[in-house]
Amino acid sequence: MQRWIRVALSVLCAAVGVTAIAGGAALVVGATTSSTLGGAVPDRAFLGGSPFPSYLVPGLLLALVVGGTQLAAAFLVWRASHTGTVAAAVAGFGLLIWIFVQMVFIPFSALQAAYFAAGLTELGLVLLGLGLVGRREQDRGGRAAAL
């Protein structure tokens, strides 16, 4: 994986991971207290029709699963581990799944669009890092050669 891709992917995964942990913590605090943390916790009415009576479990899932996979991917990609690319793909797909499910219950917001774009960007960087997308030209034998 080229250095610029590795750096961009690890920084993006780290940023998403840290903010997922912060968002998950806000949901847990909001679920265990009466605080909305200045509007950081969505209205409980959005949980209607969901399997959750409060934001406690979604907050834990956001912090531990989404945030945890993102930070693990950031660490593994940064260290150029042979499992880093797979970890980043898992983290990117996990983020997209989180946003899809969230949009079933919570009306559209700019944050959902931003995190959806972050997940797509992570997956795009994984594809670039694997050499599966990019510019190609024909070599003298007529075969496509990656640049």
Residue given tokens 């007529």 in the structure block = 142
Burial of 40: CB neighbours in 10 Å, binned 0-12, 13-18, 19+: middle
Q: What is the pLDDT of residue 134?
A: 75
**Structural domains of the chain, count:** 1
Q: What is the pLDDT of residue 138?
A: 55
Q: How many CB atoms lie within 10 A of CB 104?
A: 8
42 DSSP 8-state letter: P
Q: What is the pLDDT of residue 139?
A: 56
Q: What is the pLDDT of residue 141?
A: 61
Q: Could you say which residues of the chain have pLDDT below 50?
A: none
Domain region containing 74:
3-146
Cβ-Cβ contacts under 8 Å for 68 (sequence gap 6 or more): 17, 21
Structure tokens at 98: 């989180």
Q: What is the pLDDT of residue 35?
A: 72
Burial of 17: CB neighbours in 10 Å, binned 0-12, 13-18, 19+: buried
Q: What is the pLDDT of residue 60?
A: 97
